Amino acid sequence: MTQPPMVTIYQVAARAGVSPATVSRVMNGTKVSAESERLVRAAAAELAFTPNRTARRLRGQTSEVIALIIPDIENPFFTALARGVENRARAAGYSVVLCNTDDDPAREATYIDIALAEHMAGVILAPADDASDVSRLIASNRPVVAVDRSLHRPDIDAVTVDNRAGGLSAAESLFAAGFSRVGCITGPSSVETAQLRMEGWRRATRRGRDAVGDDTLLRYADYRVDGGRAAMADLLGLPEPPDAVFVANNLMAAGALEALHDAGLAPPRFGLAVFGDLPFASFDRRGIRVVPLPARELGEAAAGLLLDRIAGDDGPARTVVLRTDHRLQEQR
Partner DNA sequence: AGTCTTGACGAAATCGATTTCTTGGACTTC
Partner DNA sequence: GAAGTCCAAGAAATCGATTTCGTCAAGACT
The residues that touch a copy of itself, with contacts defined as CB under 8 A, are: 1-6, 50-55, 57-58, 61, 73-74, 76, 79-80, 82-83, 86, 95, 97-100, 111, 113-114, 116-119, 139-143, 225, 250-251, 253-254, 257-258, 261, 278-284, 309-310, 312, 314
For position 311 contacting DNA by CB under 7 A, the verdict is no
141 is in the binding site of which of a copy of itself, DNA, none (Cβ under 5 to 8 A by kind)? a copy of itself
> For DNA, which residue of 15, 45, 52, 115 counts as binding (CB under 7 A)?
52
225 is in the binding site of which of DNA, a copy of itself, none (Cβ under 5 to 8 A by kind)? a copy of itself
Q: Within positions 61 to 100, which residues make up the interface with DNA, using CB under 7 A?
A: 61
C-beta separation of 180 from 209 below 8 A: yes
For position 138 contacting DNA by CB under 7 A, the verdict is no
User: For residues 60 and 213, which CB has a smaller minimum distance to DNA in the complex?
Assistant: 60
For position 332 contacting DNA by CB under 7 A, the verdict is no
Angle among Cα 192, 197, 203 to the nearest 5 degrees reads: 125
Using the rule CB under 7 A, give the single segment among 32-40, 102-110, 171-179, 279-287 that binds DNA.
Answer: 32-40
144 is in the binding site of which of a copy of itself, DNA, none (Cβ under 5 to 8 A by kind)? none
257: number of Cβ within 10 Å: 26
Which 3-state string (H, E, C) describes the chain?
Answer: CCCCCCCCHHHHHHHHCCCHHHHHHHHHCCCCCHHHHHHHHHHHHHHCCCCCHHHHHHHHCCCCEEEEEECCCCCHHHHHHHHHHHHHHHHCCCEEEEEECCCCHHHHHHHHHHHHHCCCCEEEECCCCCCCCCHHHHHCCCCEEEECCCCCCCCCEEEEECHHHHHHHHHHHHHHCCCCCEEEEECCCCCHHHHHHHHHHHHHHHHCCCCCCCCCCEEECCCCHHHHHHHHHHHHCCCCCCCEEEECCHHHHHHHHHHHHHCCCCCCCCEEEEECCCCCCCCCCCCEEEECCCHHHHHHHHHHHHHHHHCCCCCCCCEEEECCCCCCEECC
Number of residues that bind DNA (CB under 7 A): 29
User: For residues 84 and 208, which CB has a smaller minimum distance to a copy of itself in the complex?
Assistant: 84
CB of 315 to DNA, least distance (A): 24
User: For residues 15 and 142, which CB has a smaller minimum distance to a copy of itself in the complex?
Assistant: 142
99 bridge partner residues: 69
CA torsion, points 52, 55, 60, 62, in degrees to nearest 10?
Answer: 70
User: For residues 100 and 180, which CB has a smaller minimum distance to a copy of itself in the complex?
Assistant: 100
CB of 116 to a copy of itself, least distance (A): 7
For position 33 contacting DNA by CB under 7 A, the verdict is yes
User: For residues 7 and 305, which CB has a smaller minimum distance to DNA in the complex?
Assistant: 7
User: For residues 34 and 281, which CB has a smaller minimum distance to a copy of itself in the complex?
Assistant: 281
Using the rule CB under 7 A, give the single segment among 48-56, 97-105, 299-307, 309-317 that binds DNA.
Answer: 48-56
For position 32 contacting DNA by CB under 7 A, the verdict is yes
74: number of Cβ within 10 Å: 12
> For DNA, which residue of 36, 79, 282, 331 counts as binding (CB under 7 A)?
36
Interface residue list for DNA (CB under 7 A): 6-10, 18-25, 27-28, 31-33, 35-36, 49, 51-52, 55-56, 58-61
